[in-house]
Structure 1
Amino acid sequence: MGRVYATPEQLTAWSGKPAPPDADRLLARASEDVDDALATALYDTDPAGMPTDPTVVAALADAVCAQVEYQLAAGVDGTGADDRWESVSLGPLSMSGRRTGTQAPGSVDLAPRAYRALTRSGIRLGVIW
């Protein structure tokens, strides 16, 4: 398992709602999304790859919680399967089929609040020095 930046307790505190029963899985997937968004970011880490600066630690936890909130609000589970199909109905006419994809392969649908949590901390996303 990869790095997980937030706990179910942090998710509960952040959202003001009890963490869902599958919170550990959701937090792990959201942490992967945040990791993908941080592919070019620079910040200090320990040997396990966890951030060491308290501001960055808090920002990553907030970003992961925001990502879970975003996915729950959108009714998605973090697998990406929901982006693959579309369905259209108009009266008696019904059509469905595979989407061609609106995002580049491997790109992350990062929640706006997650992005803001990261940038407020000073982490610069998408910047290579």
Structure 2
Amino acid sequence: MAGRVYATPEQLTAWTGRPAPTDANRLLARASEDIDDALLTAVYVTNSAGMPTDPDVAGALADAVCAQIEYQQATGDDGTGATGRWDSVSIGPVALSGRKDAPGAAGDVDLAPRAHRALTRAGLLPGVIW
């Protein structure tokens, strides 16, 4: 799981307007990893735990994480990324079919459009220094 989690279940509830799912902490950790991967070259000031110190940056990361989860839920993805890469997936006993091309976003992340916009508005896309 991610070392840094940028949003809380309460923020997810506020973002989606629905109660956070029972596995919200797992989803938040995975979505935070996605956002980290999408921002591999972004530069912003952090504290000793690696969390952003600027409230606007922290807010943008929280919004992006919540948007990423909202997007994954809307597309039927459980946070593994398998939904976007396969036409059909079963888990027990495993059956995969119809591999699709991997996402082409930064960090090889299928980034939610709303997450992308939140990060863009905050100036966190690659090459921007805070």
The bucket for the TM-score relative to the shorter chain is 0.7 to 0.9
**Amino acid aligned to 2:71:** Y
Kindly indicate whether the alpha-carbon contact (under 8 Å) linking 1:7 and 1:27 is maintained by their aligned counterparts in 2: yes
Name the SS of the counterpart of 1:86 in structure 2.
strand
Q: Equivalents in 1 of 2:100, 2:67: separation in Å?
A: 27
Q: Does 1:62 align with 2:63?
A: yes
**TM superposition score normalised by structure 1:** 0.83
Q: Decide which structure has the larger Cα Rg and report it.
A: 1
Task: Render the CA deviation track for 1:5-50: whole Å, top value 9, x for unaligned.
Answer: 0000010111111111111111110000000011000110001110
Per-residue deviation, 1:128: 7.4
Q: Equivalents in 2 of 1:15, 1:54: separation in Å?
A: 21
Per-residue deviation, 1:72: 0.4
Counting aligned pairs with the same residue, the percent is 68
Quote the residue 1:27 is aligned against.
28
Name the SS of the counterpart of 2:108 in structure 1.
coil
Q: Equivalents in 1 of 2:122, 2:128: separation in Å?
A: 17
User: Which structure 2 residue ranges, 5 or more long, are not aligned?
Assistant: 89-95
Quote the residue 1:127 is aligned against.
127
User: Which structure 1 residue ranges, 5 or more long, are not aligned?
Assistant: 88-95
RMSD after superposition? 2.1
The alpha-carbon distance between structure 1 residues 122 and 103, as it changes in their structure 2 partners (threshold 3 A), is: closer
The alpha-carbon distance between structure 1 residues 97 and 14, as it changes in their structure 2 partners (threshold 3 A), is: closer
Kindly report which structure 2 residues correspond to 1:10-89, keeping only aligned pairs within 5 A, or say none: 10-86=11-87
- Number of residue pairs aligned between Structure 1 and Structure 2: 120
Q: Does 1:9 align with 2:48?
A: no
Q: Equivalents in 2 of 1:85, 1:29: separation in Å?
A: 19
